[in-house]
Amino acid sequence: MLRICSLSELVEDEGVRFDTVTPPIAVFLTSAGEVYAIDDTCTHQDASLAEGWVEDCRVECPLHASTFSLLTGDVDSPPARRGVRAHRIEVVGDDVYVQLSALAPNLPPGVEY
Amino acid sequence: MIIEQLDKPLPGSLMPTLAGGYYTDPNVFAAEQERIFEESWFCVLHGSDIEKPGDYKLVEVGREQLIVSRNRKREVRAFFNVCRHRGMRVCTETEGSRRNFQCGYHAWTYDLDGKLIAAPNLTKMPDIDRDDYGLRKVHVREWLGYVWVCVAEQPPSFEETVLSEIVTRLGEVESIDHYQIDTLKIGKRICYEVEANWKLIIENFMECYHCATIHPELTEVIPEFAQGWAAQTNTGLGAEFGEDIKGFTVDGSAGVGELPLIAPNQDRRYFAITIRPNVFINLVPDHIIIHRMFPTSESHTYVECDWLFLPEVVDAGTDVSKSVELFDRVNLQDFDACEKTQPSMASRIYRDGGALVPAEHHIVPFHDWLKAELNA
């Protein structure tokens, strides 16, 4: 697993984008204290999910309001039609580790990394 | 400013008013917007108007339209309602609840702190500073449970402007603390569209020479108003209820639960405070009445008036209609007088203005302040 950040870098109910991995991922801390990671780029159009509204373990894309599960990456409603990848997280002390998904990312048209 | 005032006082008891043009000239109004409304602390809404994170309301201050909202930490924020991209109104409905503020033109999207968080292809433009291109912020203060904003880059001292008006009228800021206004709830709000210049409304509120003529109910509750001297001519004394009067209600009957911490010299008394440029505060033992004015042109003013009571009074659904009716009638009587005065402001007969009797001489400092601000 890859150390992606420290727990203290995360803010409750907010996401942080990390482009130290490709494609960039978004790491979230929920109000319940859980940490999740999904691909940061919405599958519909290039937007950073880390900037979205976090509620009930879902994040709403700031551009067109499709929401994605922080647990599975599943999308709820258009305009995004495909989910994002979810990544496995492990927190050890203050260190946050990620196991990136082996699946191919669902990037929006025109976005390449 | 092209309008000249009479330099010397009128003979005897009378002092001059402003010239008629101050109430009718669009250029004067434009100068007031720029030099007064856009340079002052301006009370725009009650905290409960935007209760939850993301709740917002649009308000007009001078020539600017603002979004007043709460961020996720429930802190009040105010922004110019201008997209930093191509300038479209970001919010187009007068109120609502949002998770972010998104312009409907090219979807530039701002979070509840105003930061630019998304736009098509934004991640391909990493040189755009998300804060520099965030919604432009407006200075915000919360006081008395209300949100006060200032659109100027450098706001004036809140203490030296807003709070000093409290000192002028009550003697000390602490006197208003006894009413614990920030803990009260709105029991009733009535909005008025008034076809009159905002200064006519302020001048009317400041004096009581008209009270015995147009406010029979108010003068019944506060008989001393029949003498024509307003509560705003003294400091810290207010005006006393009549002997048989039980409360500040339309028929003098008892009011509702008295505010628990008011001082003995605040019981059975009415106090009135004008906070320039747009707020009136009325204090009585069991409720507070707060007017916020939004001048929209030289001849039109929108007024929102709130009646605030103890939370338990509002929560219990207590009938406050007799309390509300008294000042609603006063408002309607006052605004009717202002509306019937406004047309004459353009008459040649009022070109040089009218006169103020001694019971109105305390309006002169308001005029002096206005002229000083316009000439600043």
Condensed to tens digits (0 to 9), the pLDDT of residues A56-108 reads 999 999 999 999 999 999 999 899 999 999 999 999 999 999 999 999 999 99
State which H helix or E strand residue A31 sits in: none
- In this structure, the answer to whether residues B20 and B57 fall within a common structural domain is no
Select from B206, B236, B205, B242 the least CA-distant residue to B222.
Answer: B242
CATH number listed for the domain at residues A2-99 = 2.102.10.10
Instruction: For B124, name the nearest residue in chain A, comparing CA atoms only.
Output: A46
Please give the residue range of the domain that contains residue B29: 15-39+172-375
Q: B100 to chain A: which residues are within 8 Å by CB? A: 53, 62
Burial of B298 (0-12, 13-18, 19+ CB in 10 A): buried
Of B107, B111, B124, the CB nearest to A63: B107
Torsional class of B145: left (φ above 0), alpha (ψ -120 to 50), beta (otherwise):
left
Q: A46 to chain B: which residues are within 8 Å by CB? A: 120-124
CATH at B104 = 2.102.10.10
Of B100, B102, B118, the CB nearest to A48: B118
Instruction: For A62, name the nearest residue in chain B, comparing CA atoms only.
Output: B118
Q: B123 to chain A: which residues are within 8 Å by CB? A: 41, 46-48
- In this structure, the answer to whether residues B195 and B270 fall within a common structural domain is yes
Burial of B119 (0-12, 13-18, 19+ CB in 10 A): buried
Alpha helices in chain B (DSSP H): 26-32, 164-170, 174-177, 198-206, 211-214, 216-221, 311-315, 321-341, 364-375
The angle that helices B198-206 and B321-341 make with each other, rounded to 10 degrees, is 120
- Give dist(CA A103, CA A107) in Å, integer: 12
- In this structure, the answer to whether residues B186 and B273 fall within a common structural domain is yes
Instruction: For A48, name the nearest residue in chain B, comparing CA atoms only.
Output: B118
Question: What b/e readout covers A72-105, taking b as 16+ CB neighbours within 10 angstroms?
Answer: ebebeeeebeebbbbbebeeeeeebbbebbeeeb
- In this structure, the answer to whether residues B31 and B63 fall within a common structural domain is no
B322 occurs within a structural domain? yes
Of B72, B111, B118, the CB nearest to A63: B118
- In this structure, the answer to whether residues B139 and B261 fall within a common structural domain is no
Q: A47 to chain B: which residues are within 8 Å by CB? A: 118, 120, 122-123
Whether the complex's predicted ipTM surpasses the cut of 0.95: no
Which pLDDT score is estimated for B235? 80
Torsion, Cα B296 B26 B354 B338, to 10 degrees, reads -20
B99 to A48: CB separation less than 8 angstroms, yes or no: no
Residue pair A4/A18 in contact (Cβ under 8 Å)? The answer is yes
Q: Which of B150, B180, B203 is the last residue of a domain?
A: B150
From B177's Cα to the closest Cα of chain A, the distance in A is: 36
Residue pair A44/A76 in contact (Cβ under 8 Å)? The answer is no
The domain limits of chain A are 2-99
What average pLDDT does this structure show over A29-44? 96
- Give dist(CA B273, CA B283) in Å, integer: 8
From B89's Cα to the closest Cα of chain A, the distance in A is: 17
- In this structure, the answer to whether residues B140 and B246 fall within a common structural domain is no
B234 occurs within a structural domain? yes
Best residue in B97, B123, B125, B131 for a mutation probing chain A (most A CBs within 10 Å)? B123
Instruction: For A60, name the nearest residue in chain B, comparing CA atoms only.
Output: B99
The DSSP call for residue B264 is G
- Give dist(CA B326, CA B158) in Å, integer: 32
B164 occurs within a structural domain? no
CATH at B335 = 3.90.380.10
- In this structure, the answer to whether residues B284 and B144 fall within a common structural domain is no
Of B100, B107, B123, the CB nearest to A48: B123
A46 to B109: CB separation less than 8 angstroms, yes or no: no
Q: B111 to chain A: which residues are within 8 Å by CB? A: 51, 62
Q: Which of B90, B117, B150 is the last residue of a domain?
A: B150
Per-residue pLDDT of chain B (376 residues; tens, 9 = 90+): 444 455 555 668 999 999 999 999 999 999 999 999 999 999 999 999 999 999 999 999 999 999 999 999 999 999 999 999 999 999 999 999 999 999 999 999 999 999 999 999 898 899 999 999 999 999 999 999 999 999 999 999 999 999 999 988 898 888 999 999 999 999 999 999 999 999 999 999 999 999 999 999 999 999 999 988 877 777 888 899 999 999 999 999 999 989 999 999 999 999 999 999 999 999 999 999 999 999 999 999 999 999 999 999 999 999 999 999 999 999 999 999 999 999 999 999 999 999 999 999 999 999 999 999 999 8
- Give dist(CA B136, CA B87) in Å, integer: 12
Q: Which two tokens stand for residue B209?
A: 């020479």
- In this structure, the answer to whether residues B21 and B110 fall within a common structural domain is no
Of A41, A46, A63, the CB nearest to B109: A63
Instruction: For B53, name the nearest residue in chain A, comparing CA atoms only.
Output: A53
Which pLDDT score is estimated for B2? 44
- In this structure, the answer to whether residues B126 and B191 fall within a common structural domain is no
A64 to B124: CB separation less than 8 angstroms, yes or no: no
- In this structure, the answer to whether residues B220 and B128 fall within a common structural domain is no
B155 occurs within a structural domain? no
Instruction: For A51, name the nearest residue in chain B, comparing CA atoms only.
Output: B117
B4 occurs within a structural domain? no
Residue pair B302/B194 in contact (Cβ under 8 Å)? The answer is yes
What average pLDDT does this structure show over A33-62? 96
Half-sphere exposure of B45 (CA within 13 A, CB side): 23
Residue pair B100/B111 in contact (Cβ under 8 Å)? The answer is yes
Cis peptide before B9 (omega within 30 of 0): no
| Number of structural domains chain B divides into | 2
B183 occurs within a structural domain? yes
Q: Which of B150, B182, B198 is the last residue of a domain?
A: B150
- In this structure, the answer to whether residues B131 and B206 fall within a common structural domain is no
From B111's Cα to the closest Cα of chain A, the distance in A is: 8
Which pLDDT score is estimated for B229? 82
- In this structure, the answer to whether residues B21 and B70 fall within a common structural domain is no
Name the average pLDDT for chain A.
95
